[in-house]
Structure 1
Amino acid sequence: MSFELRIDEPLGEALRRCLVEQAGRLASDVEGDERGEAIHKARKRCKRLRAVFRLLRPVHPELFREGNALFRDIGRGLSAFRDVDATRAAFCRLVEGAGNHAGTLEPLGVILHREDPALTQELLTERIAQSAQLAREAAQRYEKLRFGKGEFSLFGDGLLVTYKKARAAMRSAYDDPHPETYHEWRKRVKDLTNQCQFLCPLWPGILEVLRKEFDALGDILGDDHDLCVVREKVLAEGGSFDSGLLDFFAAETDRQLEGCRRKAWSLGARLFAERSELFIRRMHAYWETLEEERG
């Protein structure tokens, strides 16, 4: 089964099914042989699950609180092991983007290859086992959920909140351009990406395109976040390097961050041009049309 509702499936059953499937697959993914990829997949499942819980939040606040906290904590427990690879990859992109100055920056990469003694294989094995157990237990609990046939309000109010928050986060990012505001925008965009994927059958030709564009925006904002992490770490731990090199590194990172943010604005301004009330009215119209087609 895919992470989306089906035309012939009641909404409530689709929501229950996706929670059960994603939690179960998270448990399987995190135990995969290739640990870097396994952690990446597991964190992706966590984000999907939290996006579904956010759809349900206005109607089922207790379920949201429990599920969101559970998969937030699972994701955080695994993130440090994945973030090391993401940060190193971001530095490689930074160097590549520096063009003729790439060789100047390359020596700084040693900072990002220092091993964190706290991130042991024993700790990773423990986190994996704990995450798999918690996810399997959650999947068993979700089997018992019953949402009924489900009306638009079962997800519509949650979708409205997500879109509003993402739109407001974009304004905040450009009014107050700091790593934290852009990271918050990224998180809300990721929620919308996953929610559009779940709701895609409402009108696949439109919502699949919208999902892809939100996903592209999330990738741009992800690059922004990773560059910010690289910048902070290198400047904090690069005291043994020449100050001129560090100044050049900071200037080049800022230049590339500016490029990311221009791209994000260009795409975000289009994706969030529609006011929240009009966006949700349009989604409601898609839902009503689907209901009529179902008979």
Structure 2
Amino acid sequence: MVYQLKRKLPLAKALRRTARREIAGALRDLQALPQEEAVHELRKHCKKMRALLRLVRADIGDLYRYENAHYRTLAGGLSGSRDAVSVRDALLALAPAERFPQILEFLEARARGQADADALEEAKTLLQQGGERIGDWPLETLKWKHARRGYRRSYRRAAKTMDKAFAERSAASFHEYRKRVKDQWYHTRLLQKKCRRALRGRRKPLKNLAQALGDWRDLALLRELVGRQGTQFRGELIPLLDAADERLDTLQQEIERLSRQLFTAKKFAFNGGS
């Protein structure tokens, strides 16, 4: 399913069309995928719905606040399960499974303990309720210029949180930066056909930057979680911390390189590329 606004439609129709496709895709994934994968995909669908609305948030007021809260609540009900899986996957990406068997067993048990089938049933209900409201979204006054303005706004927010993240270098600030980068990535995907010249060359680097920031956060959470266990993991703790620190340094260099490439200008200019 392509996450993209159809450029030949009025913006209101394009937004509703894409939103309905996201809801339909989320419901299909809930039906077809194993629980762990379904949680992951559902949270992605929620992020895409929120990014879609955030593109025009300045022009839809209360609609944005209501719907954003709805999909944030929906995804938040599954966050514990997904975070536990992400930390486990961070370990598997860092080293072969047999290198840290005690830590892997601990993380696997933690991920299993966070699984919640009831949360998926609640998510299904909330998705259906959200989908039923799309036809009533008051979007008729929107023009494509509002979407371009929203893109420029998300660029400014990403650049601002980038500066804060590099100044603080904390897990919280990098996590916030990642959210703003993902907005830019999603907005680039949404507008890629309508504004192809202006956005050329941004989609893949934004995706790579969001991935690097996500990997950095998950690895930092892994390091913190395992470090709190003290001597529980005999012979594995110090090697794990050393390997995590080395990988975190590499990721930070990649994050800085991509950030310089993507957010060098103070403002984003479309230059008529619409």
Question: Is TM more than 0.5 here?
Answer: yes
State the alpha-carbon separation in 1 of the partners of residues 17 and 147 from structure 2: 15
Matched residue, 1:267: 258
1:83-131 residue CA offsets vs partner (Å, 9 max, x unmatched): 33222121022225xxxxx9764543233123368535xxx22211111
Q: Please give the TM-score of this superposition, normalised by the length of structure 2.
A: 0.90
Task: List gaps (5 residues or longer) in structure 2.
Answer: none
1:186 aligns with 2:178: yes
Q: Is 2:88–2:111's contact at 8 Å kept on the other side of the alignment?
A: no
Identity %: 27
Q: Which residue number corresponds to residue 120 of structure 2?
A: 128
Partner-residue secondary structure (3-state), 1:24:
helix
Per-residue deviation, 1:71: 0.8
Counterpart selection for 1:110 from 91, 101, 105: 105
Contact kept in structure 2, 1:20 and 1:143, CA below 8 Å: no
**1:9 partner SS:** coil
Cα deviation code 1:213-256 (max 9, x no counterpart): 101111111110110111111111243234x7534432331221
| 2:54 aligned residue | 54
> Pick from 223, 227, 240: which aligns with 2:219?
227
> 1:61 and 1:94 mapped to 2: Cα distance?
43
- Secondary structure of the equivalent of 1:286? coil
230, 249, 253: which is aligned to 2:244? Answer: 253
Distance 2:88 2:168 in 1: 27
Structure-2 residue corresponding to 1:81:
81
Measured in 1, the distance between the counterparts of 2:28 and 2:155 equals 31
In structure 2, what is the Cα distance between the partners aligned to 1:163 and 1:41?
25
Structure 1 residue 267 displacement after superposition = 0.8
Post-superposition offset of 1:188: 0.7
Structure 1: runs of 5 or more not aligned: 97-101, 288-295
The higher radius of gyration belongs to 1
Q: Whole-Å Cα distance in 1 between the matches of residues 28 and 146 of structure 2?
A: 29
- Aligned pairs for 1:1-295 within 5 A: 2-96=2-96, 105-115=100-110, 119-120=114-115, 124-148=116-140, 150-204=142-196, 207=199, 209-242=201-234, 245-276=236-267, 279=268, 281-282=269-270, 285-287=272-274
Q: TM-score, normalised by structure 1?
A: 0.84
Name the CA distance, whole Å, in 2 between partners of 1:8 and 1:162.
Answer: 23
